[in-house]
Chain A
C-alpha cells in the first residue's frame, strides 16, 4: 500500500517541531538561526512558511512518477513501492539535472563543499519501510501533518473540504499535479501564494522526454540503414563511372 503525508495548513500553528524533527532525523544542525530561514536548502529539508496567521509547509512532494528519478543519469533517485523517493548519494555525479527538472524545485545542493551532494526530503524512507510514520508527522502536535495510506488520506481530505467548504481552497494539492504526489496539501489560501506552481500538468512529466527517447532505437536503425543505402548507391555509381571512363580510354 502506497503511503502518503497529508498536511492541512488550517491546523498548523507554526511551532516548527516538524523542522526540528526532520533535522534530527537527517543528522542536520538545527538552531534559532536555521529555524528563521524561510527557504529549503541542503541543510533544511522542510520549512514552515508564514504569511500573517497563514502557514504552509514545504517538503519534497515525493511524486508518484517522479521527474527527478526519470532525469537522473545514474538512477540515484528512485521511487519506492511504499511512496518515498529516495536518493543514493554513492551514485550521484552532481550534475544537478534533478534540481533543474523538478517541477517543485525541491532538490538542493551543497554549494559550499568541494565534493557536493544533492539533499532532499526522502519521506523518511527507512522509517516508512519499518511501518513507522515520518519524523515530521510523528512530531506534529496538532495533526496538521498526518501520515497514512495515501488513498485513505485522500478520502479524509475530501471529507474535510466537504464538511467545512468555507474554510478550504477546494483543491487537494498533489492529488493530480504531475500525475499525483505522495504528499497532499490542504490550505485556506491559494497555493500559489506560497510559491506552489498551480499551472503544472496533470500528466507525469517524464512522459515528455520518454516519448522522444523511446523512438530513438527506431531512429538509429532506420537512419543507419538509410545512410548505408545511400553510401551503397553513391559508391556504386562511382564504380560504374570509373569503369566507363576506363573502357572509354
Chain B
C-alpha cells in the first residue's frame, strides 16, 4: 500500500474536521443557545434546513435508480446502482448524525418508535428514516458480503431484493414528500412563495430531479477522481429524463405560485424575492435552457454543469423553505453561527471521506457483476436492452 501523502483536499478536510470536533465539544457541553443562532423566534436553522432537508434530498438517487434498474428493468444502469446506493446510505446515516446535534435530547431519538403519534408528520418522518436506513443497509450489504465471500448471506439478500427495492421506493416516496408536508402546518408563517398545499408533491418531484442530477454529478466526479464513469449513452438518457422531470416540476410550480397570486409579490423586491428568483433561475430556467439543446445534453461537460445547477437550485429551494421563508413571520434574520457551519462542513467532509474510502476498499465501481456465484443466474441482459427505452 502506498504511504500516506498530504494533498490539498486532505489538508482542507483535516482543518474542517478539527473545527467540527471543537464545535461538537461546545455543542454538547454548552447547549444549543451558546453554539447556534437559533432562538425561540427561530427554532429551526442550518442543521434542519441543510443537513436534514438537503441531505435527504441529495440521497434521492438511491430510490430513483434502484427503481429504474430493478423495477423498470433498465439493466444498463446497473453499474451506477452501487455508488448511488452508497451515497444514499451515507446520506441517511449523516442525516441521523445531524439530528443528534439538533435534537435537544438526542439520546431519546428512539422515542418516536415506541411513543406513537400518527397525526404527526414528524412521527412519520422518524419511522421512514429508520426503516429506509435499514433498507439501504440491506441494499448495500451484498457489497460487503462479496468482499468477505459470504455466499449464503448473498443468496438470502438476492431472494428478498425485489421486495426490498419496492419497500425502499415506497419509504422514499413517503419520506421525500413528508419533508414538504412538515411545513403544511405553518400557513401563517411560511412566505407565500413557498407555502402551498402542493408542498409534498413538489418535494417528491424535485427529489426525483435531484436524484437524477446527483447520479450524473457523481458519475462525473468519479470519472475525475477514480477514473470510472458511466458510458455517455447512459448519461445522455439520464439528462433527458432530468429535462422531463424539470419541466414537469416547473409546470406544477409556476401554475401554483400564479394561481395563489404569489407571483406578483416579486415586484415588492427584498430578500425573499431575490432568493426565490435565484432558486427558479438556477434550479429550473438555466438547466432547462441548457438541456433543451441536444449539443449540450449530449456532452459530458454540458450534463455536468446542468446537474450541478439543478442540485444547487434545489438546495436553495430547501433552504428557502426552511430558513428564508420563515424569517419575516419570525421577525428575525437568521445566519448560522460558526459552530453550526463547522458541524455541517464536518458532516459533509466525513461523507466525502467515507465515500472515497469505500470506493478504494470495496467493489463499488464494477463494470459488471464480477462475482462467480452469480454467473449461473446471470440475466440475459443484452436481449432486454434492445427493448429498453427510458
Contact = CB atoms under 8 A, between A and B. Distances in A.
Contact of B170 (A101, A105, A205, A227): A227
Interface in B108-159: 108-109, 111-112, 115-126
Interface in A105-141: 105, 108-117
Interface of B: 28-34, 38-41, 43-44, 67, 70-73, 102-106, 108-109, 111-112, 115-126, 162, 166-167, 169-170, 173-174, 178, 181-182, 184-189, 197, 200, 326, 379-380, 383-384, 387
A242 to B, nearest CB: 4
A72 B108 CA distance: 14
Given A101-B185, A209-B119, A213-B119, A114 B380 contact: no
A52 interface: no
B29 A114 contact: yes
Nearest to B108: A93
In this complex, the member of B38, B40, B174, B178 whose beta carbon has the largest number of chain A beta carbons within 10 angstroms is B40
Contacts of A244: 383
Nearest to B38: A111
Interface of A: 39-42, 67, 70-76, 91-97, 99-101, 103, 105, 108-117, 197, 199-201, 205-206, 208-210, 212-213, 216, 219-220, 223-224, 227-228, 230-231, 234-235, 237-238, 241-242, 244-245
B40 A205 contact: no
A237 B111 contact: no
A231 B115 CA distance: 36
A74 B117 contact: yes
A17 B123 CA distance: 39
A206 B167 CA distance: 28
Contacts of B188: 103, 197, 199-201
Nearest to B181: A212
A97 B122 contact: yes
Contacts of B112: 73-74, 93
Contacts of A210: 119
A76 B114 CA distance: 12
Contacts of A115: 104-105
A224 B119 contact: no
Given A73-B120, A73-B126, A116 B104 contact: yes
B155 to A, nearest CB: 18
B120 A241 contact: no
21 contacts: A67-B185, A72-B117, A73-B117, A73-B125, A74-B123, A75-B120, A92-B108, A93-B111, A100-B186, A108-B40, A115-B105, A197-B188, A200-B188, A209-B120, A209-B184, A227-B71, A228-B162, A231-B73, A234-B72, A241-B384, A242-B380
Contacts of B178: 212
A41 B40 contact: yes
Contact of B43 (A93, A99, A208): A99
B122 A237 contact: no
B123 A73 contact: yes
A151 B116 CA distance: 32
Given A93-B111, A113-B31, A116-B105, A219 B174 contact: yes
Given A100-B44, A228-B166, A212 B184 contact: yes
Contacts of A227: 67, 71, 166, 169-170
B103 A216 contact: no
A219 B30 CA distance: 44
A234 B75 CA distance: 11
Contacts of A39: 40
